[in-house]
Amino acid sequence: MNKVYLIKPLEKKSICWHIEMFRENADGSISWFNVDDHYRWGQGFVEEDMDCNLPIEGDQQAHAKIDIGFGADLDDQVACWFEFSDDISEEEQEQIKRCYLEGDGNEEWERSNAAWIFDGDHGWQVEDDYVVIQAPYQVSLCDELTGEVIEENVKLRTREDLAKSVEEWKAKQTEWPFNTGEGQ
């Protein structure tokens, strides 16, 4: 059974899908734009074996990959913000916004949002995309296939736990096979 950590916001309007896009131009330079697409509700997931990516207790944000778990289930878009590299003209910026929000009128399928990002007829590539969940949020351990909750309200690491782990790791660096005897 594969397990994932489910991270759900406890307040509405607390989740954002962040997308970073880029293209290599003919002159070898790179252009980019970012989209922050905000939703009323949704969820994010972290793989069980990647628990190091869970937030630390008290963190104001949790980050999760969009392609993990059984779906981000983003619902009811409430805002969408764009950021562009300085070399993208105002006209091209407006075209990108229109294609993302309404679809490309020049395409047969007029895809918008995720469909335009991943399948649209454009020269852009996805650099990264992830979900940002604002605190307060709840973390539960779930079965990845069925969604059954295995452990609700998972206890997150504290900053003290993290500092202790780092100190333990540093201490082990002086043990064989890492100890080369140099500097002693």
Other Cβ atoms closer than 10 A to 72: 22
- The pLDDT of 36-43, averaged and rounded, is 96
* Residues found in the chain: 184
Q: What per-residue confidence (pLDDT) applies to 173?
A: 78
Q: How many CA atoms lie within 13 A of 121 on its CB side?
A: 7
- The whole model's pTM is what? 0.83
Q: How far apart are CA 152 and CA 44, in angstroms?
A: 15
Q: What per-residue confidence (pLDDT) applies to 162?
A: 86
Residues 6+ apart with CB under 8 A from 18: 34, 35, 36, 37, 128, 129, 130, 131, 132
Q: What per-residue confidence (pLDDT) applies to 181?
A: 57
Per the prediction, the chain carries an average pLDDT of: 90
Percent of the chain with pLDDT over 90: 64
- The pLDDT of 127-155, averaged and rounded, is 94
138 pLDDT above the threshold of 90: yes
Q: Which two tokens stand for residue 125?
A: 């590539």
Give 44-102 pLDDT, tens digit per residue: 999 998 888 899 999 999 999 988 888 889 999 999 999 999 999 999 999 999 999 98
Q: What per-residue confidence (pLDDT) applies to 7?
A: 96
Q: What per-residue confidence (pLDDT) applies to 111?
A: 79
Q: How far apart are CA 109 and CA 43, in angstroms?
A: 28
Q: Helices in the chain by DSSP H: which ranges?
A: 90-102, 113-119, 159-172
Q: What per-residue confidence (pLDDT) applies to 182?
A: 58
- The pLDDT of 168-180, averaged and rounded, is 73
Q: What per-residue confidence (pLDDT) applies to 63?
A: 95
Q: What per-residue confidence (pLDDT) applies to 152?
A: 95
Q: How far apart are CA 153 and CA 51, in angstroms?
A: 14
Sign (positive or negative) of CA dihedral 104, 75, 47, 130: positive
Q: How far apart are CA 181 and CA 158, in angstroms?
A: 34
